[in-house]
A and B are shown apart, each in its own frame.
Chain A
Amino acid sequence: MARQLHARRLEGVDKNIWVEFTQLTADYKAVNVGQGFPDFSPPSFIQEAFCSAITGGASMHQYTRGFGHPALVKILAKFFGRIVGRDIDPMEDFQITVGAYQALFCTFQALIDEGDEVIIVEPFFDCYQPMVKMAGGTPSSNLYTLSSADWVLSPEELASNLNPRTKAIVINTPNNPLGKVYQRDELQMIADFCIKHDIICISDEVYEWLTYDGAQHIKIASLPGMWERTVTIGSAGKSFSATGWKVGWAMGPGNIIKHLKTIHQNSVYHCATAAQEAVAMGFQREYDTFGTEDSYFKQLPAQLHKKRLRLAECLRSVGLEPVMPQGGYFMITDISSLQVDLNDPSTKDEPYDFRIVKWLIKEKGLATIPVSGFYSPEHRGNVQNYIRFCFVKVIWFVCI
């Protein structure tokens, strides 16, 4: 064919860190402590719920309501209504999506136009930037001040990213890859900023149950003045350790969610019925056991807390400096002290952390993820000495 085939919206978004590294991991049969998924099973009650949905009536295998299976949106509205302290409308205030990933996609596609700016707090889950670009927007990155011991968001730096085209800010708490859990005063600072400048807040809270050492997850949508301008994103995959189910949601005020619905109905339209039914059953159980020892949302962080400590010990034992996460699935570690003879010519033009990660995969059979992949291209050069581990694994880490 003579003409250009691809649409221009794909320009600059064709590379993808997961595609690249999962392929390499598979090729070298490396132990995967990089990608964020558990290597243990989901809790039996959720697997049973799925089986029960599958063997349920014929309707479980046919299309359900496009914007979300009624049983699921109803229980989510109840569940989160109790947490946020407001009446949430199941039909108006939710869009069920194919994973939180698709919820992010719908949000950007629905709200971001050519030329709009979106503030993305770095380091960020890598998809935010290409999704903003594909929607025609400009990601405006805000670097954490690395000089202080704690990773904090500076209000001055936040304000410096503001301009007349700023439409939204994306936050992720607990944060991937850092594991930072935003405190109330930080969220209040962001909330004040959003309200003052009439900006939408996109809050990716997929790791909301996974907080350690007494850190509390706070929903920015519950702060005064924020419900009406926040899209909160959640994930059944992360909540129930079943990432392969790909069920997520966007929750927010109906007048914003309706635009996500338009994107959804013109892109995938429906999500799998039986999976939604199973997640609904899971949430009903969690609603009934919330706060008790029987709640999976309590058991999982307790389980992961120990794995987190074990990984940190292991990394320190080989002279590495982990950054202890307050929440989430991941731990990053400074690898500056690693003395490695990198003689792989295929990676010579890549950032140092990419080179180390590829060396680890090829030479040590261990797959991790380079943290500079979670920074904008302009800032990648500043942060080449961290790699990310996922500790939601039962396997023993190969101590290098």
Chain B
Amino acid sequence: RHRNKNSKCNLYMASVTHKNAKRIEGLDKNVWITFTSVAADPTIVNLGQGYPDIPPPSYVKEGLVQAVMVDRLNQYTRGFGHPTLVKALSQVYGKVCGRQIDPFKEILVTVGGYGSLFCSIQGLIEEGDEVIIIEPFFDCYVPMVKMAGAKPVFIPLRLSDRKTDISSADWFLDQDELASKFNSKTKAIIINTPNNPIGKVFTRNELQAIADLCIKHDTLCLSDEVYEWLTYKGHDHVKIATLPGMWDRTITVGSAGKTFSVTGWKLGWSIGPEHLVKHLQTVMQNSLYACPTPLQEAVAQGLLRDYELMGQPDCYFSSLAEELQGKRDRIATILKQAGMNPVIPEGGYFMIADVTALNQHLSHVEDDEPYDYKFIKWMTKEKKLAAIPVTAFCGEESIKHFEKYIRFCFIKQDSTLDAAEAILKNWNKA
């Protein structure tokens, strides 16, 4: 590169020198940025972005107030996770997984489930690797894999032949297709159960099929289980890490934000074998070093409280799911009333709905965008109701499979759902 010493002639040089690093090429767009601004208008009923507008449990908030009042809890804690928190996590997940989990070597506390995904991908994935991603996927998986220099390989969930009363259980992975995606370059597969956005809760058999392939091809599994407590009647969350042969090759991601309805606390964790977690810890010590102390202490106290209540109706892990089941059923009913075809989720707090039957013509909405993006923009403007387009969660090749679907978030107060109901009831009028 030619060095021009005269600063006056630096217009060209400034643009070269201040150019971004290659790792972020093409990664600047983000669906949330686009859609949070679309729905920032307070007159719009926002069932788009995935966060509760119901309050978190009061003991969780109180725990944070108490932590802030303790002097030393306002200073740095252990980088890989505040001791009280990693010990609490070790207890809770030790019980759930039925194994001893070392709090210091097998757990890393991160900035949300998001931060766990980042540490895992940066720690274990690099140029030349392929990573299998199941569509539809939480949108950050792809840019994170690309930023690590690796290639995302997609496999879509496919809808069975069922025509009515569709649930997320009717979406499945074609086994031959799945097997065809694995090769010697496949470093990892990312799974998300319960799945965002469909709400599918992978069965033990389905997870076993994935596990068999991982073992056969010596592949890692990154299992995003942030919605693990939110499964509805008749469906149990299964941890792929507990299947034979899988503990040693799986990183399981969890989230305080989703567990305690405090997404704004941004705390999550990665749990797995020491020989994998140590690499995530290396990323952590070179990226942000430690997570906030008082927040970790408060999450620890919350976990310990609910650990004692596990199996009882008071336990927030199960009481939240019960509360959400009612909201799930209500939202499904009102979407049907408007003529949409919802996919009833087995877990999570999202519901996708097929809008084909509405026959909404959108050729007047400009932009060369998939149907669902146009539908959302139209719906936000004309109906004052916000949702998220499902093609934001899939690769280019699968757009045509998903572009008639939009995603609703139902972890919302009754008043929000009332407002949504009013809009959906009157859909065909005016």
Contact = CB atoms under 8 A, between A and B. Distances in A.
B131 to A, nearest CB: 12
A41 B71 contact: yes
A187 interface: no
A230 to B, nearest CB: 11
Given A18-B289, A267-B287, A269-B114, A196 B5 contact: yes
A180 B293 CA distance: 30
Nearest to A240: B74
Nearest to A102: B288
Contacts of A256: 18
Contact of A55 (B61, B72, B126): B61
Contacts, number: 240
Contact of B21 (A111, A255, A273): A111
A127, A225, A246, most chain B CB atoms within 10 A: A246
A121 to B, nearest CB: 20
Contact of A47 (B36, B72, B74, B265): B74
A98 B291 contact: yes
Interface string B113-135: 01100100011111000000000
B76 A243 contact: yes
A22 B65 CA distance: 27
A261 B30 CA distance: 11
Interface residues of B, number: 85
Contacts of B266: 268, 270-272
A125 B218 CA distance: 39
A110 B78 CA distance: 27
A195 B286 contact: no
B75 A37 contact: yes
A58 interface: yes
Interface string A219-231: 0000001001100
Interface stretch (B152-160, B277-285, B306-314, B394-402): B277-285
Nearest to A165: B1
A169 to B, nearest CB: 12
Given A13-B282, A197-B3, A225-B7, A62 B291 contact: no
A204 to B, nearest CB: 14
A196 B3 CA distance: 10
A5 B280 CA distance: 11
B284 to A, nearest CB: 10
Interface residues of A, number: 91
Contact of B68 (A19, A54, A98, A114): A54
B103 interface: no
B218 A8 contact: no
A50 B411 CA distance: 26
Contact of B265 (A112, A267, A268, A272): A272
A7 B112 contact: no
Contacts of A37: 75-76
B262 interface: yes
Interface string A75-108: 0000000000000000000000111011001000
14 contacts: A5-B124, A5-B276, A7-B125, A58-B56, A63-B263, A127-B289, A165-B1, A199-B17, A244-B74, A244-B77, A244-B294, A265-B33, A268-B114, A271-B111
Interface of B: 1, 3-5, 7, 10, 13-14, 17-18, 20-24, 27-28, 30, 32-33, 36, 49, 51-56, 61, 64-65, 68-69, 71-80, 111-112, 114-115, 118, 122-126, 140, 143-144, 147-148, 187, 218, 220, 248-249, 261-266, 275-276, 279, 282-283, 285-295
The 6 closest A-B pairs by CB, nearest first: A244-B293, A273-B264, A7-B126, A41-B71, A102-B288, A259-B20
Interface of A: 1-3, 5-10, 13-14, 16, 18-19, 22, 35, 37-42, 47, 50-51, 54-55, 58-66, 97-99, 101-102, 105, 109-114, 116, 127, 130-131, 134-135, 164-165, 167, 195-200, 225, 228-229, 241-247, 255-256, 258-259, 261-263, 265-275
